[in-house]
Amino acid sequence: MDKQTNILLIYTGGTIGMVKDYKTGALKAFNFKKLLKNIPELAQLDCHIDTISFENPIDSSNINTAHWVELASIIETHYNSHDGFVVLHGSDTMSYSASALSYMLENLAKPVIFTGSQLPIGDLRTDAKENLITSIQIAALRKKGKAVIKEVGLYFEYKLYRGNRTTKLNAEHFEAFASLNHPPLVESGVHLKVYHENLWANVKGKKLIVHKELDNNVVILKLFPGFNPSVMKTILETPNLKALILETYGAGNAPNEQWLIDQLKNAIKKGLYVVNVTQCSGGSVLMGQYETSEQLQKLKVINGKDITTEAAITKLMYLLGADTSSKTFKTIFETSLRGEMQ
């Protein structure tokens, strides 16, 4: 008989960890030590659940690179003793955190599932229970004694997506997240349906490497009609700035105005990495398809292809933190490292 699966539940903060004080109507943090008492359904799952919480749980709007390092360190510490990890996280920045962790955990061979909720766990119509129970169930999935999911996923409202492919699209609906450029990994209905063909095929047998150096000297710049040249100049001259994500129109298009080309050319010459990512939620950058993206291609701007902005900015932090050589930076960025791009 298989040994019982050990799952570690990590609470970082967020709505899912709140319960309502019915006397005052105020929300207060949930005591995860009393998890089974509050959600007796968890006892029906065929796995052992341990819980750990950030010392100071935070609203996900306050998350930063230090919290990602703390999260990666918790997973590293418990990696050999546990078979899967469920991270409870506020939904606002969950896609950023899931993307960051996917890069930080190299050769991951176990599931790390991010989930959260739109309503607190104690709310009458909460989505928290279903998200939590199914995330634990997915993290515990085994086939021939091995984990079925071997990547960082994000589970919300009946679907598990690859974490670094997601974007939060809705602040009100239970279906808060979308993965427009990659299909779901698992769907939850009467049964759990695993789409094995959509899973990330990881390198087998390699030891987990946890990367804890992230460089946040990066910026995202969204183009809009009437963009001001002096604002662009100020941003490009930011001290210590190492990389810029240019959120362009459509399939990677930008105005072909001379000042824009000149400013980007100078910045790239001085060593700034510029990545072209589309503003569209779905679809891909196709540089050179139109005249308005041809000049970016000539400048050797990095092609973000179909990567999300969240996955692009965290990939930059990871590659810069890893001291990636300037000779190979463009090639490595344009390569799918954790299934984040085509």
Structural domain spans, the chain:
5-210, 218-333
- The residues that bridge with 59 in the sheet, in sequence order, are none
Amino acid 2: pLDDT: 56
Distance in angstroms (rounded) separating the CA atoms of residues 131 and 139 = 12
Assign 3-state DSSP to the chain and report helix, strand, coil percentages, each to 5. 30, 25, 45
pTM (whole model) above 0.85: yes
Mean pLDDT of 317-324: 98
Q: What does the pLDDT read at residue 1?
A: 39
Report the top-level CATH class of 5-210.
alpha beta
300 CB contacts (<8 Å, ≥6 apart)?
Answer: 268, 330
C-alpha 111/C-alpha 6 separation (Å) is 12
Residue pLDDT, tens place only, 144-158 = 989 999 999 999 999
Q: What is the average pLDDT across 37-61?
A: 88
Instruction: Taking each helix axis as running N to C, give the angle between helix 309-321 and helix 94-104, from 0 to 180 degrees, rounded to the nearest 10.
Output: 40
| pLDDT tens for each residue of 259-314 | 999 999 999 999 999 999 999 999 999 988 888 889 999 999 999 999 999 999 99
- 40 confidence band (pLDDT: 50, 70, 90): confident
Integer-rounded Cα radius of gyration of the chain: 21
pLDDT confidence tier of residue 36, bands split at 50, 70 and 90:
low
Question: Annotated catalytic residue: which of 12, 15, 126, 248?
Answer: 15
Confidence of residue 15 (pLDDT cuts 50, 70, 90): confident
Gap between the Cα atoms of 112 and 166, Å rounded? 15
Residue 252 is predicted with a pLDDT of 95
- The CATH architecture assigned to 218-333 reads 3-Layer(aba) Sandwich (3.40)
Asked whether residue 80 carries a pLDDT value surpassing 60, the answer given is: yes
Instruction: Tell me which residue of 125, 117, 139 sits closest to 15, measured CA to CA.
Output: 117
CA distance 41 to 85: 19
Q: Which amino acid is at 280?
A: C
Task: Look up 65 and say whether it is catalytic.
Answer: no
pLDDT digits (tens, 9 = 90+) for 162-219: 999 999 999 888 889 999 999 999 999 999 999 999 999 877 789 999 999 999 999 9
Select the more confidently predicted residue: 334 or 57.
Answer: 334
CA dihedral 20, 26, 27, 30 (to 10 degrees): -60
Distance, in Å, from the CA atom of 226 to the CA atom of 61, rounded to the nearest integer, reads 30
Same fold, 5-210 and 218-333: yes
Angle made by CA atoms 54, 60, 63, in degrees to the nearest 5: 75
Give the pLDDT confidence score for residue 165 in this predicted structure: 98
- Rounded-to-integer distance, Cα 339 and Cα 236, Å: 30
Mean pLDDT of the chain: 93
